[in-house]
Chain A
Amino acid sequence: MMPCIEKAYGPFRANIPVEVPLCLALALYRRGKCRIQAPDWMDRERLKTMLEEERTVPQYFQPVPQFYVEVARMLFTEARAIFGSNADVNEVQDLIEELKKVRNSKILDGLRKVSGAITVKLNNLSASESNKIRLLFEHSLNVWHQLSKNDKQWQEANMTGSLDTPASM
């Protein structure tokens, strides 16, 4: 057992898979103490179907792990060998890159449609993706909000002004 702050991991026994945090897995892997099993969603077939779905359904996003970009990057830089031969790694990597691109273009498409202070529901957005658009999105929504508030004020002012003017006069 390996007690950590969050919880204890293990027991570690030879050739029996244990679920551990990625950092621990990579640390052990670097020391040649373990083999890493790629997560389920990085399976080639699963990625292919996911990509296909992602492409064909433009309305919403496919559920992906929250940190899929980061996990993929870590594994591809640190532990390429776990995917098999070089061709296999490249294929999986290409699929993930493709997935990222498709999702990114979807996000940009969605952003283009934002034309007012609205509530946007973005499900299944991964951490890095939401981070990517957060600043822009938040600010633009704020601006929209400001504008609409101003618009309302202005209209109210107009209304009251048009009513008030004669009375005050």
Chain B
Amino acid sequence: MKGKGKDTTLKLTTGHGPGQASLAYVTVAGKGSKEHYVATAGADGKVYLRDSLILEPVHMAKVDAPPATILAVDPAGKFVAVGDDKNVKLYKVPSLSLEKVACRFALTLRALAFSPDGSKLAAAGDDSVVKLVDLKDGTVYRTLNCDEYVLSLAWDPLGTYLAASLRTGGLVLYDASTGKAVKRLDMSEQVDYSSPRRHTPCWHPDGGTVLAAPTGAEGDVVLLERLSWAEQGYLGGEHTKAVNVVAFSPNGLYVATAGQDKRLVVWDLAAASSVASAVAEEVMSGLAWKPEGNELAMVGESGGVGVWSSPVPTSHASPTASAEELEAAQRQQERQADAKRRAEKGRKEGEAMDLTPPEGGEIREEIIEEGIQDPADPDPAAARPTSSGAGGSEGGDEGGPSQRGGADGMGEGEGEVARGGRTHAGRAAAAAGRPVATRTIVRTIVAPPAGPNPQPPFQPGSTPPEAGKARFLCFNMIGSVSSRPTGDHNMIEVLFHDTSRFSARVPQLKDLYGFDRAALGDKGVLYSSPSAPGSEAEGGPAPSMLCFRPFDSWAPHSDWTAPLPPGEEAMCLASGSVFSAVATSRLLLRLFSLAGSQTALLRLDGPPLAMAAAGPLLLVAFHSGPPNQHTKSQSISVSLYDTIQMACVFTQPLPLTPGASLSWLGFTEDHGLPAVADSEGVIAVRTPDWGGRWVPVFEPPAARRSAEALWTVGLTAQQLYAVVCRAEAPRPPVSPRPYYTPMDLAPPVLALESGAAPEAEGRALLHLLSCGALRGRLDAAQLAGAVAEASDLTHLYTQEQYKADRELLRVFQKAVRGERHARALELAAQMASFKSLDGALKIANHNQARGLAERIREFMDRRQAEAEALPPLGGGMEEQAGPYEAAAGAAAGRRGHACTPIPFGRGVEAAEAREAAADAPSAGGAGGTQQQPLGPADLNAGAGGGGGGGLTPFAEMVTAPGSAGPNTGGLSTGPKGGRGLPTPNTLLQVATAKPDPGSDSHKRKPAPALNNPFARKAPKLAK
């Protein structure tokens, strides 16, 4: 730093005798202009008011008791206070006639400071006290005791604090209003009693936010923050000996310091570096910036007086410019730089022979025509359409000048766009000798919309780190992994939601690596730490570490730790039931078995974003490209790997809500379908149908979106589990431990006119989605010959079909009641079981929808015939001749196992329905009066009116909401009273009732009632 710039040599003219001296600028408001004077006082006891340019004395006064060591100017510029050996005297400006004696001291005065409003004066010296004088009445209203000689004083620009530097080297800050010392600091070495040292501190003119004070013998200046009085920074490296005086420039941008090494340095405060320096022949005793312009006046200890003109180089902002001026100057500078840059860029582009738009940007062309134009003559140049990239398609002879012209235009161009101008006469027009039309084509390069950055990788269910606070490394449906900083390491705690899940509690892990990611699987936890730059005591940079801790293992030392090679960082982790996986910054996917053998090493297709595991499945989301600049969407793809089969099940792009980023990645708990959540809160599940598309299954309700944020934890086929957080704090805290709230999934289906509530249709869609997932698994199991699994799955599948049918029946009922028979028929065709179809038929009959009932019956007949013709589980893919071929065919195709393979008669069906109705009392429907139904129910016609029929107690008690019969209040013909035959509503209930496990369509026994002991008890209960 030293000797960086050449030091200016300053020549001082002798003004005073040797000894402490002081100076200040005095501004006298003249007529229309301000005149600046320099007031100096010196050891010879003289006070001069000097011309600010040539320093010639204009006025002079002499104090009674020399030396006149200190001088201060009233902020209003009316008085000069001078301290001599005994008194503080006020002299009028500019005549320097004595106004009054402000206060008296026993020993020499050393320091004076006016309060910022000019009403008070602080004076101190060898008397070891600071006297505060009220100038109006001339009384000492407060005396601050400081036990030592005071070298200098500085009053804060807000008037609150008074800084005093002491002979012992201390700096004391007084609260001027109370007189209490708020802070004592040790700054410099002790100096002699007779030393001319000053150690003058200085407040930043901007409200005293910073106090600069000399510190140490090496010539440093410390910057103290107001109120905390903590060291904010140092100005050092220039002076070799202690600094004597510090002075802020009037706008606070610069600091001038003068030291015992006879050097003067001007510092840029923002950069804390020197901008100029000078040497003089003597040590400076006083420094003052001129209030206007760029001048620094000084007075030395040998009595020399001088002015350093333009201490701040012209390349820097003026030391006195106001904030507005500075801002304007900066803007100007920026504009210039911008223009220069643009010109440069434009030239480069011009050289590249093309106005190539930046990626995503475009060139717009504007044609301005001047002169006379013959409208009948279509000029080819004028007719050239305004198009992007037109510059490139320009003809060769014209292209050259055009581009050059464009570059020149851009060189001058200033502002948002660069322009290329071109003036030419229309060729055709010129050739034809017609009046010449001049046209100017202005090309404008439009910058591309700034695209978002690619989303950084994350662990699903982790919360961002906050200094000193615990955070979740992983929070999922199994439990949580939290990391709590304690001292120099973290404590990692693994907790399970279900505490009975593992016999032993997972011990706390003392984390010395600084793990910042964790994946909690059902067999163990995988941790990773980032690599650290090598300032470790162990030597060398710490690599990125991987660590796996199993929960229960039969063998000791089942945990493993592995460092990644230098330059490779763990980005995403996942831990499944048979494997652990890590995706690294080298775009490698490393698969490990649970005990740590490395089972696979694959290259990823892009930078990893997130991973999730479930069982043997691994889902990897990665950036397939840079984010789209127009839609502001991330370009993300996902791959699903099966680690047992060693197969990549699929790789496909992952569409998110436009503009959103991925916030969670996982699987549905029950079916293992890949699922994602984005930053808009929309949850999407990948359905195996439709060739594997993403279905949005949940959108946060608009009404609550502003007040709360859902932090996804997991989801099942029907419900979302999320922690409900406030919108201000969208991440849950570790303590208190968050709990999750189940929320029903609701795909954003439409509410059709006179249709069912969209919720019911949404639920039906969800059930169908589950059916699809189950069917896929079932097919796979059958293909693999896993009989037990297949039977389990078949059972689940049937159950799911029943649930779907139940919802469909609800929608069907609404459709029938809304007189939408065609839609109702389509709905019926989607139903899987004959029971449900029967229910649908009854509802149709009940609502007098004859045509509909007829068609349903026909459809049922056909399906039954088909089912009889097919072997059990035969696929059922044949074309179905339904009443609505397309719909029925589609339905049958979609639900290959929909038809129950074993035929059953209607009598059986009815009997079973009766049993089931008794079986499910809580769902028992309120009956409706029966109207001439077709099919099996026409036996029941006689029960119409229902008065004679006995009342089923259950029917009386409960009405199922949503599926209640058309006339809920009506009397019920229960199964008992109604000659053993069900009403449509009981049948609807049959369909909606939970299927009896094991007794249903898949392996239906002829007499299912026997399977159900409760069914036989029901009549008894009824009595």
Contacts and interface: CB of A to CB of B under 8 A. Distances in A.
Interface of A: 14-17, 32-33, 35, 37, 84
A14 B498 contact: yes
Contacts of A15: 497-498, 739-740
Given A17-B739, A84-B736, 11 more contacts: A14-B496, A14-B497, A14-B498, A15-B498, A15-B739, A16-B721, A16-B742, A17-B741, A33-B499, A35-B737, A35-B739
Nearest to B735: A84
Given A32-B499, A33-B499, A16 B741 contact: yes
Interface in B491-548: 496-499
B848 to A, nearest CB: 40
Contacts of A32: 499
A55 to B, nearest CB: 29
Contacts, number: 22
Contacts of B496: 14
What are the nearest 3 A-B pairs in CB distance? A14-B497, A15-B497, A14-B498
Interface string B821-834: 00000000000000
A26 to B, nearest CB: 18
Interface in B708-754: 721, 735-737, 739-742
Contacts of A35: 737, 739
A17 B722 CA distance: 12
A17 B739 CA distance: 7
22 contacts: A14-B496, A14-B497, A14-B498, A14-B499, A15-B497, A15-B498, A15-B739, A15-B740, A16-B721, A16-B739, A16-B740, A16-B741, A16-B742, A17-B739, A17-B741, A32-B499, A33-B499, A35-B737, A35-B739, A37-B739, A84-B735, A84-B736
A114 B737 CA distance: 50
Interface string B141-181: 00000000000000000000000000000000000000000
Contacts of A33: 499
Nearest to B496: A14
A14 B497 CA distance: 5
B739 to A, nearest CB: 5
Nearest to A37: B739
Interface centre among A16, A37, A84 (most CB of B within 10 A): A16
Main secondary structure of the interface of A (DSSP, over half): loop
A55 B736 CA distance: 31
Interface of B: 496-499, 721, 735-737, 739-742
Contacts of B498: 14-15
A32 B499 CA distance: 9
B364 to A, nearest CB: 57
Contacts of B742: 16
Contacts of B721: 16
Contacts of B740: 15-16
A35 B739 CA distance: 10
A84 B740 CA distance: 19
B738 to A, nearest CB: 8
B103 to A, nearest CB: 53
A3 to B, nearest CB: 13
Nearest to B740: A15
B280 to A, nearest CB: 63
B959 to A, nearest CB: 19
Nearest to A34: B499
Contacts of B736: 84
Nearest to B723: A15
A14 B502 CA distance: 14
B549 to A, nearest CB: 21
A17 B736 CA distance: 14
Contacts of B741: 16-17
A34 to B, nearest CB: 10
A120 to B, nearest CB: 41
Contacts of A84: 735-736
A14 B740 CA distance: 9
Contacts of B735: 84
B444 to A, nearest CB: 57
B551 to A, nearest CB: 16
B892 to A, nearest CB: 36
Contacts of A37: 739
B656 to A, nearest CB: 27
Nearest to A85: B735
A14 B495 CA distance: 12
A15 B740 CA distance: 6
A76 B498 CA distance: 26
A35 B499 CA distance: 12
A10 to B, nearest CB: 13
A33 B737 CA distance: 15
B742 to A, nearest CB: 6
B220 to A, nearest CB: 45
B86 to A, nearest CB: 60
A33 B496 CA distance: 12
Contacts of A16: 721, 739-742
A15 B723 CA distance: 10
Nearest to B713: A15
A33 B736 CA distance: 16
A32 B505 CA distance: 13
A17 B741 CA distance: 7
A37 B736 CA distance: 10
A137 B735 CA distance: 47
Nearest to B475: A15
Nearest to A82: B736
Contacts of B497: 14-15
A15 B500 CA distance: 13
A52 to B, nearest CB: 23
A95 to B, nearest CB: 19
A37 B740 CA distance: 13
A96 to B, nearest CB: 19
B341 to A, nearest CB: 55
A80 to B, nearest CB: 14
A128 B721 CA distance: 39
A15 B475 CA distance: 12
A62 B566 CA distance: 66
B472 to A, nearest CB: 13
A43 to B, nearest CB: 12
B910 to A, nearest CB: 32
Nearest to A84: B736
A14 B721 CA distance: 11
A44 to B, nearest CB: 13
A125 B735 CA distance: 35
B711 to A, nearest CB: 13
A84 B733 CA distance: 13
Contacts of B739: 15-17, 35, 37
B744 to A, nearest CB: 14
B715 to A, nearest CB: 13
A32 B496 CA distance: 13
B477 to A, nearest CB: 8
A158 to B, nearest CB: 63
A71 to B, nearest CB: 19
A40 B1 CA distance: 65
